[in-house]
């Protein structure tokens, strides 16, 4: 410490302790100042050493590897375990992406079903029974099925879908043994709300659907079974704007390809509006040309009755409006449909012998109430007016005693036999259905149903004695298990 600092310190001490300073001799004061100087020097050296040590610390820290930062709330051991899991998760994600599993969703269901049909004198289980064995009828339609649905969304928003339904699916309508219900792609164009769609796509009309997981009852309503298309093969667009979804296709209806001589596709479209999460409406239509099975009728000798019309698609126009409303424990659904097909009526013109047009309209309504979160009661009512030209519905161009379609039959007391009603009007059909659904768990639903079908004519064949009745009864139970 230099002299100036010592002198300054001495003056400060003298000012702070004037009495002490005056009492001491100069010699004593000098000795104390020297001792103080020595002590200050020692402290100064110690301070310099600490400053040198601090200056060297950053260099040593830089030379050593940086410690892993510890997340707030974690101990170093917990942080190490967290890092190990993160590395493993990244490796699994890389393996998933390399295997093409990213964006992949696989789901499915089965619904083995037991059906009792009064007039058909039949009761038994139905599950994956082939269409070729018994056809498609309202008592064995799209239930008793098994489905595997595979969906994948790729980078960029493209969606791919393959749905398989052996024996009872959409594919069986196209060709025997075809298990493909849907094979479609959806490619975003300008944005994710504007999409190009193409492939084989099940029909989107009405408030009921093909899979049993999406329907409250076992059987379907009359409009679903007899007035709606099954599927389309074609291409089109899907547009989403706010609460609106619009989609349309140019396609072959109920066929994967056109037969020779037929070139015109149908225009199929669907528009949906979701007013809220629990209510909305939609409408769908099909306009164009489709197969006319009435024109392919043969006589007893196997010759075509209408050779000029055979094999030719005829003009078809279908339109339906549907809606839904859910409030608390209540669910209400409804549908109204109109349709006509040229030269597809059951009766030909009595004067000219030419084929006539088939026309129909129908209504369907469903109401369901949840007694408990698991138990739900359901009631459905259907009606089809089909009196025009002897009747005839989409794909049903003949008298059908199984489904109750056509002009019906009359009994001749003299001969004791039944014969087709000569009245040129078709039968009007209705059905009342009551059911229960019990959600056993998140993946299992038990269903029970009683259905009463009726008509204004004798159209239901009683296979026991060959007679025809105006009504029929059906009872069914089913177990729907999905994943």
Given a cut of 70, is residue 24 above it in pLDDT? Answer: no
Q: For residue 448, name the pLDDT band (cuts at 50, 70, 90).
A: very high
For residue 47, the model assigns a pLDDT of 59
Q: Tell me what the mean pLDDT of segment 227-246 comes to.
A: 97
Per-residue pLDDT tens digits for 253-285:
999 888 888 999 999 999 999 988 899 999 999
Given a cut of 80, is residue 50 above it in pLDDT? Answer: no
For residue 83, the model assigns a pLDDT of 86
Q: What percent of the chain has pLDDT over 70?
A: 85
- Write phi, then psi, for 55 (nearest 5 degrees): -65, -30
How many Å apart are CA 480 and CA 483, to the nearest integer?
Answer: 10
For residue 51, the model assigns a pLDDT of 61
Q: How far is CA 105 from CA 100, 176, 269, 292, in A?
A: 12, 28, 27, 39
Range with the poorest average pLDDT among 6-15, 247-256, 320-329, 350-359: 6-15
Q: Tell me what the mean pLDDT of segment 333-347 comes to.
A: 97
Q: For residue 62, name the pLDDT band (cuts at 50, 70, 90).
A: very low
Strand partners, 321: 283, 336
Q: For residue 21, name the pLDDT band (cuts at 50, 70, 90).
A: very low
For residue 11, the model assigns a pLDDT of 42
Q: Tell me what the mean pLDDT of segment 196-217 comes to.
A: 96
Q: Tell me what the mean pLDDT of segment 86-111 comes to.
A: 86
Per-residue pLDDT tens digits for 118-145:
999 999 999 999 888 888 899 999 999 9
Average pLDDT, the chain: 88
Q: For residue 16, name the pLDDT band (cuts at 50, 70, 90).
A: very low
> Does pTM surpass 0.85?
no
Which of 266, 216, 260, 235 has the alpha carbon at shortest distance from 394? Answer: 266
């Amino acid at each position: 410490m230099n002299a100036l600092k010592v002198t300054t310190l001495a003056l400060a001490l003298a000012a702070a302790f004037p009495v002490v300073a005056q009492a001491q001799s100069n010699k004593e004061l000098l000795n104390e100042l020297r001792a103080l100087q020595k002590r200050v020097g020692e402290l100064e050296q110690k301070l310099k050493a600490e400053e040198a040590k601090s200056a060297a610390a950053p260099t040593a820290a830089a030379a050593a590897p940086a410690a892993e930062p510890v997340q707030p709330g974690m101990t170093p051991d917990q942080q190490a375990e967290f890092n190990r899991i993160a590395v493993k998760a990244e490796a699994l994600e890389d393996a998933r992406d390399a295997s093409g599993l990213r964006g992949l969703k696989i789901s499915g269901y089965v619904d083995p079903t037991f059906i009792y049909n009064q007039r058909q004198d039949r009761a038994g289980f139905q599950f994956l029974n082939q269409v070729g064995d018994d056809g498609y009828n309202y008592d064995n339609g799209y239930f008793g099925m098994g489905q595997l649905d595979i969906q994948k969304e790729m980078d960029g928003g493209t969606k791919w879908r393959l749905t398989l339904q052996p024996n009872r699916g959409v594919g069986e309508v196209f060709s025997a043994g075809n298990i493909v219900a849907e094979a479609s792609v959806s490619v975003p164009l300008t944005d994710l709300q504007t999409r190009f769609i193409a492939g084989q796509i099940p029909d989107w009309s009405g408030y009921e659907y093909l899979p049993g997981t999406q329907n409250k009852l076992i059987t379907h309503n009359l409009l679903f079974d007899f007035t709606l298309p099954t599927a389309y093969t074609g291409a089109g667009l899907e547009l989403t704007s706010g609460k609106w979804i619009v989609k349309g296709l140019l396609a072959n209806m109920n066929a994967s390809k056109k037969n020779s001589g037929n070139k015109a596709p149908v225009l199929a479209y669907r528009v949906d509006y979701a007013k809220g999460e629990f209510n909305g409406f939609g409408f769908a239509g099909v306009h164009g040309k489709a197969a006319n099975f009435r024109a392919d009728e043969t006589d007893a000798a196997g010759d075509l009755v209408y050779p000029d019309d055979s094999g030719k698609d005829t003009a078809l126009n279908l339109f339906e409006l549907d809606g839904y409303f859910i409030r608390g424990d209540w669910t209400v659904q409804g549908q109204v449909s109109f349709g006509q097909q040229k030269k597809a009526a059951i009766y030909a013109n009595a004067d000219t012998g030419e084929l006539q047009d088939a026309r129909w309209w129908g209504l369907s309504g469903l109401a369901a109430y949840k007694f408990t979160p698991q138990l739900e009661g359901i009631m459905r009512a259907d009606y089809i007016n089909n009196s025009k030209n002897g009747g005839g519905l989409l794909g049903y161009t003949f008298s059908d005693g199984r489904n109750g379609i056509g002009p019906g039959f009359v009994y001749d007391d003299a001969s004791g036999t039944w014969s087709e009603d000569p009245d040129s009007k078709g039968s009007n059909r209705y059905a009342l259905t009551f059911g229960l659904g019990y959600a056993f768990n998140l993946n299992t639903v038990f269903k029970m149903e009683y259905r009463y079908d009726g008509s204004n004519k004798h159209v239901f064949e009683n296979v026991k004695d060959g007679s025809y009745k105006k009504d029929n009864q059906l009872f069914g139970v089913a177990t729907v298990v999905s994943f």
